[in-house]
Amino acid sequence: MPPWSGSRYAFCRGVRDDAGRLALTEREPYPYREHPDMRVHVVAQGDTWFALAGRYFEPLPRACGYWWAICDFQPDPVVDPTLELSLGSRVFIPSVRVLTDVILAESRRREVS
């Protein structure tokens, strides 16, 4: 799967069992690392991971679909993205550059595989 598919599983390998069923290996998230162009968002009423991705990754097609990159990027990665965000909490947002050039980079995919 090409890394630009936008899928968080683009960094997994496919392995087949004896019956020929395809399964994915563990997904290696990109953890929080301070970057000079990252942003800090203070959670307001109605914020969701999906909406934050749409707002901060707006130049990208289907920007909302990168909610998983924001969840992975937190100092304490988000395990359940369906839980409501806490008002006033800080969310670390990677820049579009970090998302495209670092998190989704082909070189990272080769490192993880």
Q: Assess if residue 76 is contained within a domain.
A: yes
Q: From CA 43, how far away is CA 30, in angstroms rounded? A: 22
Q: Assess if residue 10 is contained within a domain.
A: no
Q: Assess if residue 53 is contained within a domain.
A: yes
Q: What is the average pLDDT across 15-37? A: 84
Q: Residues 36-47: pLDDT tens digits?
A: 999 999 999 999
Q: Assess if residue 52 is contained within a domain.
A: yes
Which residue segment(s) compose the domain that 46 sits in?
29-112
Q: What is the average pLDDT across 20-41? A: 86
Q: Assess if residue 37 is contained within a domain.
A: yes
Q: Assess if residue 97 is contained within a domain.
A: yes
pTM for the full predicted model: 0.79
Model pLDDT, residue 6: 62
Number of structural domains in the chain: 1
Q: Residues 78-87: pLDDT tens digits?
A: 989 999 999 9
